[in-house]
Structure 1
Amino acid sequence: MAGRIQWKIVTMKIDRRSEDVYEYVMNPENFAEWATSFCRSVRRSEDGEWRLETTEGEMTLRFAERNPYGIMDHYVRKGTGPERLNPARVVPDGTGSKVIFTVFLAEDAADREFAMVFRNVESDLRTLKSVLET
């Protein structure tokens, strides 16, 4: 069936308050520090958009509106193409927090590509954990 989507959830326990994780992740200036499998650098353009230099070329970055629910969704767009949603949440977990990230990929994409994207997200969340716990 064309148009079906594969998805998988990645979670990471981080020994920081969920409010701290939220503030760090929602700051676009920090994106290149933790999303290292994908993002090489980030800058604010003259028109106010956040621009990423990525492994796939230049992209724009936009985050969901700030909210009290831990929703950290972000959207990336290459050129004039469609935005790609990256759903993410942070929730309290004892004295720390848990980051929940959903990886989506069109079902007709190669299984190897899906596995690579999933591994990259896991790697990025391990980097986020390392950055926030040190």
Structure 2
Amino acid sequence: MPPMPARIVHISIARDWREVYAFMAEREKMPLWASGLSSGLTRDGEDWIAPGPLGNARVRFVAKNDYGVVDHLVTFEDGRQVQNALRVVPNGDGAEVMFTLLRQPGMSDAQFADDAAWVEKDLATLKSILESDKD
């Protein structure tokens, strides 16, 4: 398969990148800002189960690390897999959160734009939570 078209969706957050990463790496907190997981995540061994409109998706996260990587592989009930690259990096005294959105096979221009808007909304929610909850 040739490389899929990609779009980097990102946002700056006025909070130390390590604090942003620590919040994002807590799987139980993801439904607070990642609306696709709004009904929650349930632990199942090394994976997490995320119920959704297309059935249960199995989510496997990269291990917690010192590099700000929150990548995760989503496997749908039909066997389709989507690799999600999600990173937090230092940006001055704050953080830059970046999600690499890959255009899936068969996805229209409008669907790709809708997915990007959805990610932008989720990252804006993350920013709002983290910038209003400074300790």
Please classify the TM superposition score into its range, dividing by the shorter chain length.
0.7 to 0.9
Structure 2 partner of 1:118: 116
RMSD: 1.9
Q: Which of 79, 82, 89 is the matching residue for 1:81?
A: 79
Structure 2 partner of 1:97: 95
Identical columns (%): 33
Aligned counterparts, 1:1-134, within 5 A? 3-36=2-35, 38-45=36-43, 47=45, 49-79=47-77, 81-106=79-104, 108-134=106-132
> Structure 1 length normalisation: TM-score?
0.87
Query: 2:80 and 2:130 mapped to 1: Cα distance?
Result: 31
Stretches of structure 2 lacking an aligned partner (at least 5 in a row): none
Query: 1:96 and 1:47 mapped to 2: Cα distance?
Result: 34
Query: 2:70 and 2:41 mapped to 1: Cα distance?
Result: 19
Query: 2:33 and 2:41 mapped to 1: Cα distance?
Result: 15
For these two proteins, the number of residue pairs brought into alignment is 132
For 1:18, the aligned partner's letter is W
Could you list the per-position Cα deviations for residues 60-103 of structure 1 after superposition, in whole angstroms to 9, with x for gaps in the alignment?
Answer: 22211222111111121112514311101111111111101110
Bigger mean CA deviation after superposition, 113-122 or 44-53: 44-53
Stretches of structure 1 lacking an aligned partner (at least 5 in a row): none
